[in-house]
Amino acid sequence: MSGRILITGIGFITPIKPFQGVNEFWHALCSGQDLIKKTRLPLLEIDGEWPMAEISLSCITQTVQPEDKFQYLMKRALNMAIEDANLKDCSNIGFSMGTVLGNMLLKEKKLADAKKQKKEYCGEQDSLSNVTLQFSSLYNLNGPKYTVSTACTSGTDAIGIAARSILSGKTDIMIAGGADILSDFAIIGFHALQAITTDKVRPFDKNRSGLALGEGASFVVLESEKSAAKRNAKVYGRVMGYASRADANHLTGPHREGRGLAEAIDRAMGQSGVKPGDINYINAHGTGTVYNDLMETKAIKRVFGRLAYDIPISSTKSMLGHSLGAAGAIEAICCLLAIKNGIVPPTINFQECDPDCDLDYTPNIARNHHVKMAMSLSAGFGGQNSAIILGGA
């Protein structure tokens, strides 16, 4: 990217230390806390609880019904990002929203109610684009609007598209990120694909057997250098480069040799003008599925060659689970915090090395490491692949 796109605010809600501060989240993540919890179905009967976070939402707010949780987490994450960036007026600010399923739980609720009342459910008002419009109206975000649903790269793509919007001169400030929550539809669907593990999530481990689903919301405030200087804004880091490429290979399975992801990495680096030796940390997609982790390892080797063995890599999904459209945005923030704090978070539950996954995955224990430039990788169904490069302030 030829211009400097700065990140001046972050906001996120995950099952790790939800509704607390950045430092609490980062300490828990670097301590290797496993927040992946099994939950019972149907989720609409879990009233006022957040099982993954092991908390009652009623302790934080008056009433949050299960079907309202998506909007509640979105609002909390957006409020955090806006306050963190010290944005007094959101007019003329754009919004780029990434999600896979949107508020699927609300759709399930309306469908169940319609069935009881023997009525037909019309879901047009619950479309993914309507979510973007609702929150744009709520916060008076009348700049450019984008609804991004590119499978599990949605959060990363939302940030990359927002950065390009600023570079093109369409606006000076964008709020970008993603959100998804668990729903019966999502859980049953991933079980049908036999993608969910009955064991611990073990990214890159020889005995990995699948992913665990997570949930959350995460947003960053992106700003042109001129705008940030004018506001005297604090700066977390910079978006250096971004690229998205498709495998054009299979509906659910990734290209076995990591072709699309390697191309996304290569193009993101070409945009940023950095060389392979400049990347000090990679936050991997790292789902813990057999094919994803092997494909991702091959893609990294394909681009970095021998240098791949010198780069610390970690999968924060080993602790947070896979939060679909929110994942890439959460992991981008993890990269920023790794740069700021000089710490690489661990990949937990790593017990036995896989001869085919032989890179440095920062097993089990966080590591002090000077991170000047980090890369976050995302991959999704349909062969979606994205890479974003983040640099320090």
Rounded distance, CA 346 to CA 358, Å?
16
CB-based contact 268:189 (threshold 8 Å):
no
Rounded distance, CA 343 to CA 360, Å?
15
CB-based contact 243:268 (threshold 8 Å):
yes
Element (H, E) at 259: helix 259-272
Rounded distance, CA 255 to CA 239, Å?
27
Given 322, 334, 335, 357, which residue is catalytic?
A: 322
Given 152, 334, 335, 357, which residue is catalytic?
A: 152
370 is an active site residue? no
Phi-psi bin for 365: left (phi > 0), alpha (psi -120 to 50), beta? Answer: beta
Rounded distance, CA 17 to CA 24, Å?
6
CB-based contact 90:139 (threshold 8 Å):
yes
Rounded distance, CA 155 to CA 2, Å?
22
191 is an active site residue? no
243 C-beta neighbours (distance < 10 Å), count: 20
Beta bridge mates, 95: 145, 175
Given 30, 90, 255, 285, which residue is catalytic?
A: 285
Exposed e or buried b per residue across 291-305, where buried means at least 16 C-beta atoms within 10 angstroms of its C-beta = ebbbbbbbbbbbbbe
Q: What 3-state DSSP class applies to 13?
A: strand
Q: Looking only at Cα atoms, what is the longest distance across the chain?
A: 63
353 is an active site residue? no
Over its C-alpha atoms, the chain yields an Rg (Å, rounded) of 20
Residues tagged active-site: 152, 285, 322
